[in-house]
Amino acid sequence: MSKTARSLLRVWLPLAATLALASSAVYLGQNTQFLSARPTSTDNAANPLRITTSVAVWADIAAKIGGKRVVATAIVSKPGQDPHSYVATARDQLAVNQATVTIANGLDYDAFFSILTSAAPAKPQGHNLVIGCLPVCNQNPHVWYSFSQVAQAVPKIGRAIGASASQVANYGQRISKLESRARSLRTLSKGKSYLLTESFASYLLQDLGMTDATPVGFKAAVENEQDASPLVMSGIHDLLKLHKVSVLVTNAQTSNPQTLLLTTWAKAAGVPVLSWSELLPAHQSYLSWMSANLSDIEGVLK
């Protein structure tokens, strides 16, 4: 069974009980605080627009676009949580019920959230937004690692939350600066190769003109939540030892004996290792996070 299928089972089975509790959750009262969410906007307005998102990166972006007129919270609000296996609660259902706008990532990354929105009272058209991706994204759900995908999402989010044209344009310009910086870095990164322990950062690395040296067998093992074969691991060891990989990028939020071994091999061979976050790190904005990632790449490839 694939990782996606197992993830859906982990979401659907526990949510049967959650949805049964959802109707009683509304009786918690309209003043119940959404304790599991991480607020990304400090709004003093009397009636702020309430936005609930599946993951924190979209809450941060929506809050920055909407400014003081919105308060955005995320269900999966901590970097160490896994959206694939997240088990929603009745309180999560209440948060979705009370939101004016919901924002899902889509692409099977946050299946729990679509179940919550389906069980919530109907909202006006366009108020349950799914970011998705352009056809060229190959169904990789980590679209926030693609500046062009985020640039496409900004006006969609702006329309959903009723942001002004200037608010949308201002945030769009900040994304454009990241895109411009990435293009400038291509003179340094183009033609260099990378090895990823998971696919989450592939958009950014490909946009930098880098080549994916990760063996297909290793990718398949990760997708199926299995260990790669000794033959595949031996091949990766050779790639690192022979300096056929310019940088190893690992997921800061997940590790296993094999990824730790790859890190050990890379360091022994003098290959730079970057530990990047799959989800928005605590106490960072999307813009500062991605800017730091670009600085990391620039630093190791000089």
Of the candidates 64, 95, 54, 52, the residue with the CA atom closest to the CA atom of residue 163: 64
3-state secondary structure of 139: coil
What is the per-residue pLDDT across 254-289, written as a single tens digit (0 to 9) for each? 999 999 999 999 999 999 999 999 999 999 999 999
Beta bridge partners of 52: 73, 102
Contacts 24+ apart (CB under 8 A), 216-222: 222/197, 222/198
What totals of helices (H) and strands (E) does the chain contain, helices first? 11, 8
Q: Taking CA 49 as the corner, what is the angle to CA 12 and CA 25, rounded to the nearest 5 degrees?
A: 40
Domains within the chain, CATH numbers bracketed: 3-163 (3.40.50.1980), 184-301 (3.40.50.1980)
CA distance linking residue 22 with residue 11, whole number of Å = 15
Of the candidates 110, 105, 103, the residue with the CA atom closest to the CA atom of residue 85: 110
CA distance linking residue 302 with residue 297, whole number of Å = 9
3-state secondary structure of 104: strand
Strand order in the sheet with 101-104: 70-76, 49-55, 101-104, 128-130
Residues in the chain with pLDDT values less than 70: 1-46
Phi and psi angles of residue 256, each rounded to the nearest 5 degrees, phi first: -150, 175
